[in-house]
Amino acid sequence: MAEIKTLLAVFVDIDPAAHAIDKLRELGVKDEQMNVISGIPVTEAMLGRPRQWTNVPRLAMGGAVAGFLLGVFLATTPLLYPYYVGGQALVPIPPSIVVIFEMTMLGMLIATFLGVFLDSYFPSYSPKEYVPEISDGKIAVLFACPALDEKIFEDAMTALGAESVKVAEAQKL
Amino acid sequence: MSEMTGSLAHAGEQHEDPRVEHLMLDPKPRGEMNAMVMDSMLTTSWKFWVVAAFLAVIVAVCLFGAWGYLIANGMGVAGINRPAYWGIFIVNTVFWIGISHAGTFVSALLRVFKAEFRRPFTRAAELMTTFGLVQAGLSIFFHLGRVWLAYWMFPFPNERGLWPNFHSPLEWDFLAINTYLLASTMYLFLPLIPDLAMARDRSTSWRKTLYRILALGFRGTEGEWTHLRTAMSIFAFAILPVMFSVHTIVAWDFAAATRPGWSSTIFGPYFVVGALHSGIAAVAMVLVVIRATMKNMKYFIRPEHFDALGKLMLVVSMAWAYFFFNDYIVQWYGGDKWTKILLDFHEGGPLNYVWFTMLICNLVVPWLLLWNKKIRRTPWALFIIGLLINVGMWCERFVIIPLSLTINRMPFTWRLYKPGIEVPLGIGTLAFFILLYMLASRLIPLVPVWEVQEGQLAHSLRKFGKEAVVTVSDLE
Amino acid sequence: MDLVKMAKGEEELQGKWGLVIDQDLCTGCQACVTACAMENNISFVGEEDVAYGRSMHWIRIERFWEGEYPDVKATPFQPIGCQQCGHAPCEPVCPVMAAQHSESEQINLQVYNRCIGTRYCANNCPYQARVFNWRDWDRPDPLSNQLNPDVTVRRRGVMEKCTFCVQRILRVEDVAKSEGREIKDGEVVPACAQACPADAIVFGRLDDPESRVSKLTRNSRKTILLEELGTLPRVTYLKGAANHV
């Protein structure tokens, strides 16, 4: 069984990182086996990476629906326990719109927030592959390669401008 | 936002070096900027602690002490009476909610419109939102006659079948303000996560533990950035209707009532624009203080930002004037006799100096001074103008609430309002706001460095003929 | 669009219990104010607070005058308390539903132990009929012996207002029910009507066309306060006798 090693190559700028990713593809690393970690959001288009899927918009819609239903419930509770105030109807439309709107927005925003947590598996305090230089604006390419070819990959990355290439160790962040 | 460093009409003038003028054209290595922000957070002089201690004493006495006295003795120690059943407590509530709208405006509206100058101070503004809403909430609690039962406004199942009344504008307030508080805190936290990760990587001891926990294990993977930016995008668009609705609902507390001068249909947008007016002025004030007192902030906050904020303040003051005049002329022209008496009372009554202060500070001061580019770019001048605008807006709410409540349809009940314990409690909320802000500046990085770097990468100088022109690319 | 037709039904428009106050008979003696305070356990506020607009009286006598001295003409006294509006503006604005409408008695209720003291209802009352407990005023012994056991004693932080002496209404209804008969006209007498020496205050059933109150509401001198607001008050005033001094 071929041993697989995970290497971390740190680049200073976007262009070398983009070339490096092309090179990795040439060397046979599949897109799913690569990950890019960066200090600022670098779009997938800039690096030639496949588009990242995210559930956050769908979760936001789901939250909006849940909030809407909550708002409808709150606005229609007088049907369960009728009370008449100020000669207004039991469930008047204008106040109901206010309540339903607020609860819909609340639902959507809470769902969006929690969606980030859910999709990113936050909070997660287990050891991870990371180097602190990343928050200094560097771009790190994390990839899996056969252990036997480690030197080839290392040389290729360094030739394209990697600041450092080392075995990725999962460490406490 | 493409901005010419000098128009072709001034072709003969000497141009300021664009690198000095624009933060976005003056990139430093990210590591250096990170170090500057961390340094600014960690370097605390003894003067800071003196001011913080002073504020803490004021908070203890004027806020919590006075509040305890108020609860024990009843609303009689405040200045409220019949017919002015609402007084400075509600004025302060509306004032603080207005201040809190500044944060959302800067963070969300400017983000949606891709106004690049917002980048260094979105977090400073968002902190104002959260802390401002805390003060607004406190002011609401102050004004309740039986504050220990305030939780009855929350709909919870109970044995007695009791439920809050969703026909009431105060209940809509309860829902809207809580929604806004939660939403803006979440919106503060999301862009903060990458900066907390940066702080985690550069801290030791208790700070490292704190940031490690708060950063939630963020690394900056593609997935994490995508989820974060999608969420921030949704928040930026969605929190705008929430922001508008919150202050509109607060305005409806007054507009839904049957009082002369209050049941004005324009109160909704009038209050929103008023909130932006006082809020943006407050952002300018806070930025002046941050720039003057915190290390390295002169790099991040530059005269260009004050220039932009000053222009905004001028435009919003014109918008405020439009809504004020709309409200005024309609009441003056065709209002009933009670509204007429009310307007005469505003202008000629014993407290008319408040009405005049409002007009001078909200209109005359900005319109005379903010045209001038040099004044806009001078921090201390903008601070004074911002302070006067906030005084004017506070006076506006005073005119609308206790002053207008004095006149109603039952002349036998008319009585002037004279504040009591509201004064120390109001001072207490101001001290609490400043204290919370100061403590936050020691605990979280105040400048969103990743956003600044993102902006700097997107900006470049390009030659158009002989002119070097700033260009921004859309990095989305 | 007829406001009248928009009302839910005849009962809501007309009401059940009603009050008629004859301003031409009222002498401004304040006996009604005193009697109401005794009947309803109203606190003694003190001169300073009253001067600042914090009197606790559920009914107040408003007096005005016309002209300049020495040609001053006194206008009729106006006793005014809660008008028990059919479409009460105070009701929808209470966030915790302490201001309610009684469907059975067609009056406006204030639930003291639900009130959290936001005072929105007081702001919204066009008649300024509501009063607020600004403090816990003293009631030194033996004054506490005078308290009416049928009426709650209110603490600080709570709104209150005239209830048409609802405790007396309920007591009479109980008695009539236990005796198996209808309530007679004039059997329910609120404290203010009981004390008035000029018999200027009359109370009774508005939905009974033969009751004394109903007949008075059809009087030619009848006027409704702030009628244009559409609050449908249950209190009618009689004003306009030519021979008023």
**What's the mean pLDDT in B142-150?**
93
Return the number of CB contacts < 8 Å for B and C.
136
Task: Please state whether beta strands B467-472 and C131-132 pair in parallel, antiparallel, or not at all (unpaired).
Answer: unpaired
Residue whose tokens read 């100020």:
A86
pLDDT at B8: 39
- Cβ neighbours of B222 in A, within 8 Å: 35-37, 44, 49, 52
Q: DSSP per residue over A49-104, as a string? A: PPPPP--HHHHHHHHHHHHHHHHHHHHHGGGTS----TT--SS-HHHHHHHHHHHH
Alpha carbons B201 and B445: distance in angstroms, whole number: 13
Determine the distance in angstroms separating the CA of B120 from the nearest CA of chain A, rounded to an integer: 15
- Which tokens is B76 given? 């009689």
pLDDT band at C7 (very low <50, low <70, confident <90, very high): very low
**Hey, what amino acid is at B43?**
T
Q: Is the Cβ pair B82, C116 closer than 8 Å?
A: no
Mean pLDDT of chain B: 91
Task: Please state whether beta strands C159-160 and A170-171 pair in parallel, antiparallel, or not at all (unpaired).
Answer: unpaired
pLDDT at B1: 42
Read off the pLDDT of residues B176-208 as tens digits, 9 standing for 90 and up. 999 999 999 999 999 999 999 999 999 989 999
Tell me the whole-structure pTM to 2 decimals.
0.92
| Minimum Cα–Cα distance from A41: chain B residue | B225
Interface of A with B in 64-123 (CB under 8 A): 74-75, 77, 81, 83, 85-86, 88, 92, 95-96, 98-99, 101-103, 105-106, 108-110, 112-113, 115-117, 119-123
Number of neighbours of residue B263 by Cβ within 10 angstroms: 13
pLDDT band at B104 (very low <50, low <70, confident <90, very high): confident
pLDDT at C12: 56
Q: Mutating which of C110, C123, C160 best tests the B interface, going by the most B Cβ atoms within 10 A? A: C123
Q: Is the Cβ pair A56, B227 closer than 8 Å?
A: yes
Mean pLDDT of chain A: 87
- Which tokens is B295 given? 């290390």
* Burial status of residue A148 (CB atoms within 10 A of its CB: 0-12, 13-18, 19 or more): exposed
pLDDT at B10: 43
**What's the mean pLDDT in B96-102?**
92
Instruction: Please give the residue that has the higher pLDDT: either B362 or A151.
Output: B362
Query: What are the angstrom distances between the C-alpha of C231 and each of C7, C12, C135, C228?
Result: 11, 11, 30, 8
Q: Mutating which of C61, C75, C134, C229 best tests the B interface, going by the most B Cβ atoms within 10 A? A: C134
pLDDT at B360: 96
Q: Is the Cβ pair B220, A99 closer than 8 Å?
A: no
pLDDT at A74: 93
Q: Is the Cβ pair A41, B229 closer than 8 Å?
A: yes
**Hey, what amino acid is at B14?**
Q
In the predicted structure, residue B469 carries a pLDDT above the cut 50: yes
pLDDT band at C242 (very low <50, low <70, confident <90, very high): low
Q: Is the Cβ pair B183, A105 closer than 8 Å?
A: yes
Nearest to C133 by CA among C39, C34, C40, C30: C40
In the predicted structure, residue B141 carries a pLDDT above the cut 50: yes
Alpha carbons C73 and B215: distance in angstroms, whole number: 78
pLDDT band at B16 (very low <50, low <70, confident <90, very high): low
**What's the mean pLDDT in B307-317?**
95
Interface of B with A in 137-166 (CB under 8 A): 155, 161, 163, 165-166
pLDDT at A90: 86
Chain A interface includes B233 (CB < 8 A)? no
Contacts of A73 (CB under 8 A, 6+ apart): none
- Which tokens is B230 given? 């999608």
In the predicted structure, residue B220 carries a pLDDT above the cut 60: yes
Q: Is the Cβ pair C87, A87 closer than 8 Å?
A: yes
Mean pLDDT of chain C: 89
In the predicted structure, residue A107 carries a pLDDT above the cut 80: yes
Number of neighbours of residue C148 by Cβ within 10 angstroms: 13
Alpha carbons B375 and B388: distance in angstroms, whole number: 15
Chain C interface includes B164 (CB < 8 A)? yes
Q: Is the Cβ pair A87, C97 closer than 8 Å?
A: no
Q: Is the Cβ pair C232, A85 closer than 8 Å?
A: no
Q: Is the Cβ pair B216, A123 closer than 8 Å?
A: yes
Q: What percent of chain B has pLDDT over 90?
A: 75
pLDDT at B73: 94
Least confident of B244-248, B399-403, C62-66: C62-66
pLDDT at B11: 41
Q: Look up residue C76 and give its DSSP letter.
A: P
* Burial status of residue C182 (CB atoms within 10 A of its CB: 0-12, 13-18, 19 or more): exposed
Chain A interface includes B76 (CB < 8 A)? no
- Which tokens is B116 given? 């690049």
For chain A, helix (H) and strand (E) counts, in that order, are 5, 6
pLDDT at A172: 81
Interface of B with A in 182-221 (CB under 8 A): 182-183, 186, 189-190, 194, 197-198, 200-202, 212-213, 215-221
- Cβ neighbours of B411 in C, within 8 Å: 64
- Cβ neighbours of A83 in C, within 8 Å: 97, 100-101
Query: What are the beta bridge partners of residue A9?
Result: A141, A165
Return the number of CB contacts < 8 Å for A and C.
29
Determine the distance in angstroms separating the CA of C183 from the nearest CA of chain A, rounded to an integer: 26
Nearest to B266 by CA among B335, B327, B342: B327
Read off the pLDDT of residues C137-188 as tens digits, 9 standing for 90 and up. 988 888 889 999 999 999 999 999 999 999 999 999 999 999 999 999 999 9
pLDDT at B7: 42
Read off the pLDDT of residues B43-79 as tens digits, 9 standing for 90 and up. 899 999 999 999 999 999 999 999 999 999 999 999 9
**What's the mean pLDDT in B143-154?**
93
**What's the mean pLDDT in C196-218?**
93
Q: Which among C93, C94, C101 is the nearest to A84, CB-wise?
A: C101
pLDDT at B6: 41
| Helix or strand run (H / E) with residue C236 | strand C235-238
Q: What percent of chain B has pLDDT over 70?
A: 96
